[in-house]
Amino acid sequence: MANVLHKTSIDKTRREAGNCLAGIESEIYRHLNFTLGHDDSDVEPCYLYRALAIAVRDRLVAQWKVTRDRIASSGQKRVSYLSLEFLIGRSLTNAVLNLNLEDSVRAALNKYNSSLEESAELEHDAGLGNGGLGRLAACFLDSCANLQLPVVGYGIRYEYGMFHQHIEDGRQVEDPDHWLRDGNPWELERPEDTRRIHFYGHTEYFVDDTGKTCVHWAETDDVLAVPHDMPIPGHSNGTVNTLRLWRSSATDEFNLDEFNAGGYSEAVAEKNLAEQISMVLYPNDSSENGKELRLKQQYFLVSASLQDVIEEWISIHGEDFDEFASHNCFQLNDTHPACAVPELMRLLMDEHGLEWDDAWRITRQCMAYTNHTLLPEALERWPVSLFSRLLPRLMEIIYEIDRQFRTQLAELWPDDAAIRERMSLVEGGHHPHVRMAYLAIVGSFSVNGVAGLHTELLQSGLFADFYKLWPSKFNNKTNGVTQRRWLSHCNPGLRDLINEAIGSEWQSDLPKISRLASYAEDAAFRDRWHAVKQENKGALIRHVLEHTGVRFAEDALLDVQVKRIHEYKRQLLNVLHVIHLYDRICRGDVEGMVPRCVLIGGKAAPGYHVAKLIIKLINDVSAVVNTEAKTDGLLKLVFLPNYCVSAMEKICPATELSEQISTAGKEASGTGNMKFMMNGALTIGTLDGANIEIRDQVGEENFFLFGMTAGEIAETRQTYDPNSLIAEDEEILRVMNLLESGHFNASEPGIFDILTAGLRSAEDQWLTIADLRSYIDAQRDVNKSYQDPNNWNRMSIMNTAASGWFSSDRTIQQYAEEIWNVKSVN
What amino acid positions are annotated as catalytic residues?
Answer: 372, 563-564, 569, 671, 675
Per-residue mark of binding to ligand 26Q, 639-678 (x: CB under 6 A):
----------------------------xxxxx-------
Q: Which residue is nearest to ligand 26Q (CB)?
A: 132
Residues near ligand 26Q (CB under 6 A), total: 24
Around 616, how many Cα atoms within 13 Å sit in the side-chain half-sphere? 18
Q: How far is the CB of 86 from ligand 26Q (least distance, A)?
A: 12
Nearer to ligand 26Q, 148 or 248 (CB): 248
SS3 689: coil
Q: How far is the CB of 271 from ligand 26Q (least distance, A)?
A: 25
CB of 128 to ligand 26Q, least distance (A): 12
Contact present, 455 and 474 (Cβ < 8 Å): yes
Interface mask (CB under 6 A) for ligand 26Q, residues 80-109, using x and -?
------------------------------
Is the CB of 140 or the CB of 254 nearer to ligand 26Q? 140
Select from 131, 163, 675 the least CA-distant residue to 372.
Answer: 131
Least distance (Å) between residue 607 CB and ligand 26Q: 11
The amino acid that residue 770 corresponds to is: A
Task: Based on the shown chain and the rule CB under 6 A, indicate whether residue 52 belongs to the binding site for ligand 26Q.
Answer: no
What is the distance between the alpha carbons of residues 161 and 180, in angstroms, rounded to a whole number?
Answer: 9
User: In sequence order, what are the residues at sequence separation of 6 or more whose Cβ sits closer than 8 angstroms to the Cβ of residue 564?
Assistant: 130, 131, 132, 285, 286, 602, 603, 604, 605
Smallest distance from the beta carbon of 371 to ligand 26Q, in angstroms? 9
Contacts of 132 (CB under 8 A, 6+ apart): 285, 372, 563, 564, 668, 669, 670, 671, 672
**Amino acid letter for position 569:** K
* Residues in region 448-467 near ligand 26Q by CB under 6 A: 450
Nearest to 350 by CA among 383, 295, 306, 384: 306
Q: Which residue from 18, 127, 132, 680 is in contact with ligand 26Q, where contact means CB under 6 A?
A: 132
Least Å from the CB of residue 613 to ligand 26Q? 21
Nearer to ligand 26Q, 684 or 776 (CB): 684
Can you tell me the distance from the alpha carbon of 90 to that of 82, in angstroms, rounded to the nearest whole number?
Answer: 21
Of residues 413, 405, 460, the one with CA closest to residue 438: 405
604-607 long-range Cβ contacts below 8 angstroms, 24+ apart: 604/172, 604/564, 604/565, 605/283, 605/284, 605/285, 605/286, 605/287, 605/564, 606/163, 606/174, 606/283, 606/284, 607/284, 607/289
Considering only the stretches 129-137, 303-311, 462-470, 549-557, report the one whose residues sit in contact with ligand 26Q under the rule CB under 6 A.
Answer: 129-137
Determine if 693 is a binding residue for ligand 26Q (CB under 6 A). no
For residue 378, state whether it binds ligand 26Q (rule: CB under 6 A). yes
Q: Which residues pair with residue 51 across a beta bridge?
A: none
Minimum gap (Å) between residue 455 Cβ and ligand 26Q: 12
Task: Name the helix (H) or strand (E) containing 22.
Answer: helix 21-30
Question: For ligand 26Q, which is the closer residue by CB, 607 or 699?
Answer: 607
Nearest CB to ligand 26Q, comparing residues 450 and 578: 450
Single-letter amino acid, residue 201? G
Q: Which is nearer to ligand 26Q, 508 or 811 (CB)?
A: 811
We find the least distance from the C-beta atom of residue 363 to ligand 26Q, in angstroms, to be 23
| CA proximity to 686, closest of 768, 629, 764, 755 | 768
Among 479, 655, 660, 799, binds ligand 26Q (CB under 6 A): 479
**For residues 256 and 248, what is the distance between their CA atoms, to the nearest angstrom?**
19
Strand order in the sheet with 704-705: 635-639, 596-601, 557-562, 657-660, 682-685, 704-705
**What residues numbered 134-153 form the site for ligand 26Q, per CB under 6 A?**
136
Instruction: Rule CB under 6 A: say whether 478 interacts with ligand 26Q.
Output: no
Name which of 63 and 459 has its Cβ closer to ligand 26Q. 459
Output 286 or 807, the one with its CB closest to ligand 26Q: 286
Measured from the CB atom, the residue of 67 and 335 that comes closer to ligand 26Q is 335
- Please name the amino acid found at residue 264: Y
Residues 275-334 that bind ligand 26Q (CB under 6 A): 282, 284-286, 288-289, 294
Stretch 154-213 residues interacting with ligand 26Q (CB under 6 A): none
Whichever of 286 and 305 has its CB closer to ligand 26Q, that residue is 286
**807 close to 510: Cβ distance less than 8 angstroms:** yes
Name the DSSP class of 167.
E
Q: Which residue number, 563 or 636, has a Cβ lying nearer to ligand 26Q? A: 563
**Amino acid identity for residue 463 in this structure:** F
In the 3-class helix/strand/coil scheme, how is 623-655 assigned residue by residue?
HHHHHCHHHCCCEEEEECCCCCHHHHHHHCCCC
When asked if residue 372 is in the footprint of ligand 26Q (CB under 6 A), the reply is yes
Using rule CB under 6 A, residue 811 touches ligand 26Q: no
Q: Compute the residue count for the chain.
A: 826
In whole angstroms, the minimum distance from the beta carbon of 660 to ligand 26Q comes to 10
DSSP code string of 499-518: HHHH-SGGGT-GGGGGGGGG
CA distance 636 to 627: 9
Binds ligand 26Q (CB under 6 A): choice among 480, 665, 689, 804: 689
Q: Which of 343, 380, 402, 659 binds ligand 26Q (CB under 6 A)?
A: 380
Backbone angles phi, psi at 381, to 5 degrees: -135, 130
Q: Which is nearer to ligand 26Q, 51 or 436 (CB)?
A: 436
The least CB distance from residue 804 to ligand 26Q, in Å, is 19
Residue 131 binds to ligand 26Q (criterion: CB under 6 A): yes
Rounded to whole angstroms, how far apart are CA atoms 660 and 457? Answer: 19
Among residues 378, 822, 453, the alpha carbon closest in space to that of 668 is found at 453
Q: Which stretch binds ligand 26Q (CB under 6 A): 12-20, 112-120, 125-133, 693-701?
A: 125-133
Q: How far is the CB of 357 from ligand 26Q (least distance, A)?
A: 32
Give the burial class of 740: count Cβ atoms within 10 A of its Cβ; 0-12 exposed, 13-18 middle, 19 or more buried: middle
Short-list 82, 117, 696, CA closest to 343: 82
Shortest separation between residue 127's beta carbon and ligand 26Q, angstroms:
13
Positions touching ligand 26Q (CB under 6 A) are 130-133, 136, 282, 284-286, 288-289, 294, 372-373, 378, 380, 450, 479, 667-671, 689
